[in-house]
Amino acid sequence: MTVATRAGVPGIIGECGGEMSCATCHVHIDTDHFPPPSLDETDLLEVVDERADNSRLSCQLELTEATGDLVIQVPQEA
């Protein structure tokens, strides 16, 4: 999320500053290289538009060297 907000990616607002509170950093990811979402994240994902099987809150995705290449899509802004 921080990478996206610093770069000004439209649709990634990060209103709560990455505290898993607002669901304004919703993305679709193409990789399973991240640890699975916590129960809280899964619950919060219920409020987003365009929920999909590969939906994640980007504030919960920590980039590491092991992450590798990935494609992240921002669902169309409501």
Partner 1 sequence: MTDIYDVLVVGAGHAGIHITSELAARGFDGRVGVIEAEVELPYERPPLTKGFLDGSVRADQLRFPGRFWDQSLFCSIMGEQVVAIDPERRIVTSSTAAMYGYRTLVWAAGGHARRLGIDSENAAGVHGLRSLAEAEYLKKQMHGSGRYMILGGGFIGLEAAAALRRAGVEVTVVEFADRLLARVTCPVVSDYFLQLHRREGVDVRLGSRAVRVETTDGVASGVVLQDGEVLAADGVLVAVGLAPNVGPLSDAGAICSNGVEVNEFGATSLPGVYAVGDCAFFPLAFPPFGRLRLESVQNAVDQAKNLAAALATGTFRPYRSLPWFWSNQYATKFKTVGVCQGYDQAIVRGDAARGSFAVVYLSGDRVVAVDAINSMRDYAGGRSLIGARVNVAAVADPAISLASLGGVSTSRTRAPGLAGA
Q: Which stretch binds partner 1 (CB under 8 A): 8-16, 29-37, 57-65, 66-74?
A: 8-16
Q: Which of 32, 35, 36, 46 binds partner 1 (CB under 8 A)?
A: 46
Q: Is 29 helix (H, G, I), strand (E, B) or coil?
A: strand
Query: What is the identity of the amino acid at 22?
Result: C
The nearer residue to partner 1, 33 or 45, going by C-beta atoms, is 45
The nearer residue to partner 1, 13 or 72, going by C-beta atoms, is 13
The CA distances from residue 51 to 18, 55, 57, 69, in Å, are 19, 6, 11, 23
The nearer residue to partner 1, 72 or 75, going by C-beta atoms, is 75
Q: Is 31 helix (H, G, I), strand (E, B) or coil?
A: coil
The answer to whether the beta carbons of residues 16 and 41 sit under 8 Å apart is no
22 interacts with partner 1 by CB under 8 A: yes
